[in-house]
């Protein structure tokens, strides 16, 4: 039903155009039935052609406002760019991501600024990394969803700045289960990320906001967050636009499906 809903939304303009053509043809037949002047018949037919063509050109010239990616077919990987394992998982009829240091980005909304998105996920090992405002594979915001809470990450030029759930006020009141599917909604509105987490019954489990920091901050170089003296370097934060994606590093593993993103 979810796929049908977004298929109808995706092709609503085409369906409206089709319905308009049918209505105009009915009017044409009615005029023909009344046996009015032949020149009027030709005028009506020309109007049908011009109106239908004009509607199609106008609607096709408009920028697409949303994408729905079920992630239930291997071919759906074609619109994603990245490195590592992001592949169709036949047993669960969804995609799995793991062993991806760079992550994977959806290629069709790289220039989007403010948008809302949701996806269904299931944590298999440790976490799932949800990427937003990704300029490229080395610059983005990532919300790492663990069983205990959300760890915000910012990646700039390959370096990392990381906030623990307690420090970011993004701790869950109860741990997530590794045996259940969840749905997360993320809305990017300027510097504010609104995060809503639901269970598979669509009951809200968690609802918070996190503000993307501005200015300069120190970033960890490489995967050195657990070393006693990690190398750090200051970089400016400038993530005003960018696409969505996912990242799970090393043995981190998660299942994904029903990804939706819409401009606001």
> pLDDT (tens digit, 9 = 90+) per residue, 229-248?
677 778 888 899 999 999 99
| Lookup result for tokens 């609104």 | 194
The pLDDT of residue 28? 64
Tokens of 106: 């959806």
Nearest to 151 by CA among 263, 252, 255, 5: 252
Of the candidates 162, 132, 138, the residue with the CA atom closest to the CA atom of residue 149: 162
Short-list 193, 225, 224, CA closest to 208: 193
Task: Name the least confident of 52-61, 74-83, 195-204, 208-217.
Answer: 52-61
End residue of a domain, out of 23, 39, 61 = 61
- Same domain, residue pair 161 and 88: yes
Is the predicted pLDDT of residue 69 greater than 70, yes or no?
yes
Q: How confident is the model at residue 34 (pLDDT cuts 50, 70, 90)?
A: low
Q: Are residues 52 and 116 in the same domain?
A: no
- Tell me the range of 4-13, 30-39, 154-163 where mean pLDDT is highest: 154-163
Residues 49 and 71 in one domain: no
Q: How far apart are the C-alpha atoms of 184 and 107, rounded to whole Å?
A: 21
Query: Do 88 and 57 lie in a common domain?
Result: no
Same-domain pairing of 138 and 188: yes
Q: What is the pTM of this model?
A: 0.79
Are residues 218 and 154 part of one domain? yes
Q: Single out the residue in 11, 38, 61 at which a domain terminates.
A: 61
List, for residues 135-160, the tens digit of each pLDDT value. 999 999 999 999 999 999 999 988 89
In this structure, the answer to whether residues 168 and 125 fall within a common structural domain is: yes
CA distance 168 to 46: 63
| Count of domains for the chain | 2
Regarding predicted confidence, which is higher, 31 or 258? 258
Say yes or no: 31 and 156 in one domain: no
Q: Which of 61, 81, 103 is the last residue of a domain?
A: 61
Residue 216: how many CB atoms within 10 A of its CB? 11
Same domain for 133 and 42, yes or no, is no
Residues 123 and 211 in one domain: yes
Helix (H) or strand (E) holding 166: none
Query: Residue 111: its pLDDT value, please?
Result: 93
Q: What are phi and psi of 96, to 5 degrees?
A: -120, 140
Residues 130 and 13 in one domain: no
The SS3 call for residue 152 is strand
pLDDT for res 188: 97
Helix or strand run (H / E) with residue 69:
strand 66-69
What range does the domain containing 45 cover? 2-61
> What's the rounded Cα separation, in Å, for the pair 246 and 259?
11
Q: 145 and 206 in contact (C-beta within 8 Å)?
A: no
CA–CA separation, 53 and 164 (whole Å):
55
Residue 199 has pLDDT above 70, yes or no: yes
As a whole number, the mean pLDDT across the chain is: 87
Residues 88-140 have pLDDT tens digits of: 999 999 999 999 999 999 999 999 999 999 999 999 999 999 999 999 999 99
**Whether residue 204 is found in the same domain as residue 225:** yes
CA distance 139 to 143: 13
Q: How far is C-alpha 256 from the geometric centre of its chain's CA atoms?
A: 12
CA separation, residue 200 to residues 1, 34, 122, 127, 191 (Å):
15, 59, 10, 18, 29
The pLDDT value given to residue 44: 67
């Amino acid at each position: 039903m979810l796929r049908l809903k977004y298929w109808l939304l995706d092709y609503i303009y085409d369906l409206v155009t089709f319905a308009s053509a049918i209505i105009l043809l009915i009017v044409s037949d009615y005029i023909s039935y009344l046996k009015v002047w032949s020149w009027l018949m030709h005028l009506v037919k020309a109007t049908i052609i011009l109106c239908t063509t004009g509607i199609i050109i106008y609607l096709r010239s408009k920028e697409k406002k949303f994408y729905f990616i079920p992630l239930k077919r291997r071919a759906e990987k074609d619109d994603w760019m990245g490195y590592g394992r992001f592949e169709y998982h036949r047993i669960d009829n969804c995609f799995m991501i793991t062993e991806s240091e760079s992550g994977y980005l959806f290629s069709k909304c790289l220039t989007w600024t403010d948008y809302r998105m949701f996806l269904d996920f299931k944590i298999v090992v440790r976490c799932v990394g949800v990427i937003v405002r990704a300029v490229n594979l080395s610059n983005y915001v990532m919300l790492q969803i663990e069983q205990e809470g959300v760890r915000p990450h910012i990646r700039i030029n390959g370096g990392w700045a990381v906030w623990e759930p307690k420090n970011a006020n993004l701790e869950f009141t109860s741990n997530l289960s590794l045996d259940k599917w969840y749905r997360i909604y993320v809305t990017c509105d300027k510097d504010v990320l609104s995060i809503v987490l639901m269970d598979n019954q669509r009951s809200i489990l968690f609802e918070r906001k996190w503000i993307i920091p501005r200015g300069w901050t120190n970033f960890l170089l490489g995967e050195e967050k657990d070393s006693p003296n990690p190398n750090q370097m200051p970089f400016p934060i400038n993530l005003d636009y960018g696409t969505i994606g996912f990242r799970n590093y090393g043995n981190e593993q998660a299942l994904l499906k029903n990804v939706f993103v819409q401009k606001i």
